Amino acid sequence: MSDNRPLLFFDSGVGGLSVLAPTRRLLPDAPIVYAADNGGFPYGTKAEAEIAARVPALLGRLVERHRPRLIVIACNTASTIALGAVRAALDLPVVGTVPAIKPAAEQSRTRAIGVLGTDATVRQPYVDDLSARFASDCLVLRHGSAKLVELAEAKLRGEPTDPAAYAAVMAGLLDQPGGDRIDTVVLACTHFPLVETELAAASPRSLNFIHGGEGIARRTAFLTAGQDWPATPTPGIAVFTAPFDVPAGLVAGLARYGLDDIRFL
């Protein structure tokens, strides 16, 4: 039987596309709704209380409108702050996104890990807990960057970005005491894998960058195993929470991820 219920991806902006891409590779027949909360963007500089109230309310409206089979909160900041509240409020599977500290600790040879995220994510107790549980024998250094979120958004729109800006972000992490030991960097914001190539080019030495996109895709495939999908492909839908004039570069960028139908909530 054909089942048209979509997978719903949610992020503050376009960062969740780094999670959508590997999920599409595993589940090519899945209908997709990608929701970007441009009305609340950026999350990384906002107070926790604002995010904790906003995210469950928005997802409730999106679920009512699109009737998904599963939600992926493709945003580290929203997940570390609001995941529990969303799961309590909605009666369907919800997959969160958390910093990939466990696999980073498993791969680091120098036992020194960097965590690049938004300001809101890197200060969360959740990150303390992950570090204590999975990287207790490692030096874990953190750096928050709102600028890197903006750079990722600009890149997706096809706009040029300044290499010096990426170098400044990496310096903010690597120039900390002990930063010279780091061999593995966790990209703890879903925006950041979109600019991984630029970060690697701006780094003074070779580093292993790691993020959770592939793991989230596998979890989503596991939770939907055995379910039916539409008999024919359906256009991916991109939903923005606030209306704006969508630039041609963004239209093209979304189309590269199969999101050809742009709407507003």
> What CATH number is attached to the domain comprising 257?
3.40.50.1860
Q: Is residue 1 part of a domain?
A: no
Q: Could you say which of 211, 230, 256 is where a domain stops?
A: 211
As a whole number of angstroms, the distance between CA 94 and CA 51 comes to 17
Give yes or no: residues 118 and 198 share one domain: yes
Give yes or no: residues 130 and 160 share one domain: yes
Residue 187's identity, in one-letter code, is L
CA torsion angle 67 69 74 79 (round to 10): 90
pLDDT at position 22: 98
Q: Which helix (H) or strand (E) holds 60?
A: helix 48-66
pLDDT at position 186: 98
Assess contact for 15 and 38: CB atoms under 8 A: no
Q: Is residue 2 part of a domain?
A: no
- Rounded to two decimals, what is the model's pTM? 0.96
Tell me if residue 138 is catalytic: no
Give yes or no: residues 194 and 106 share one domain: yes
Domain, as residue range, for 76 = 7-97+214-264
Give yes or no: residues 108 and 195 share one domain: yes
Give yes or no: residues 13 and 93 share one domain: yes
Number of compact structural domains in the chain:
2
Give yes or no: residues 205 and 120 share one domain: yes
pLDDT digits (tens, 9 = 90+) for 101-124: 999 999 999 999 999 999 999 999
Assess contact for 45 and 119: CB atoms under 8 A: yes
Catalytic residue among 189, 199, 217, 250: 189
Catalytic residue among 75, 95, 115, 250: 75
**Residue 1 reports pLDDT greater than 80:** no
pLDDT digits (tens, 9 = 90+) for 159-177: 999 999 999 999 999 999 9
